[in-house]
Structure 1
């Protein structure tokens, strides 16, 4: 990641995605920091100086992006106590690969990534095993 100065603003240039994101903007008249404001009449974003009357229209309506990406093992999020839930369906068609028991509790859930489809999750009903898998 490379930092650069673009027209009175502190920005960073992401080499991987070839995008430049504006961070802090500075007033061209008094060099103080500009703050995001909303023009309620036109519903547009602009930046204004708190020390003088300078303002400028925002190039982008986005003020802040907080993008968190962390890979999580979705099977680790399944609580083993689901085997005791009488409302969940059970199947004998899916044999546990760990202990060989021929009964499992199953349920359908959306994966952690919203763009993926729903998925079936299985939990072995052997309380000494409680192996979790998906197909």
Structure 2
């Protein structure tokens, strides 16, 4: 296994979600005050692992990012999201995508689904919502 340089490892660690090795649920940051260690713990099965970095969240106000319906970098690999196997990606044609509802984009209180291609991570909305915009 190849080692990343320290800067690349910090970049990788600061933005990634952590998932439980036992049950694949999201791990949440927790402090072990007796040992002065940051841990990630599962709220489902009590699995714990030590954090590789002390950074839990970084709010970089200098970088300007385009709005992507609440999508995060590793959302396509989230095992807790439902998957659709017949949703063709408009960017690459791949048939599988994860999907979620984003309340901030709803039109007249309708449910709008957003899809993220599992191959190229392209984000696209449901067809009905796109045709009404």
Query: TM range, normalised to the smaller chain?
Result: 0.3 to 0.5
Query: Highest relative contact order (Cα 8 Å, sep 6+), 1 or 2?
Result: 2
TM-score (norm 1): 0.39
Q: Which has the higher helix share?
A: 2
Q: Which has the higher strand share?
A: 1
**Larger-Rg structure:** 1
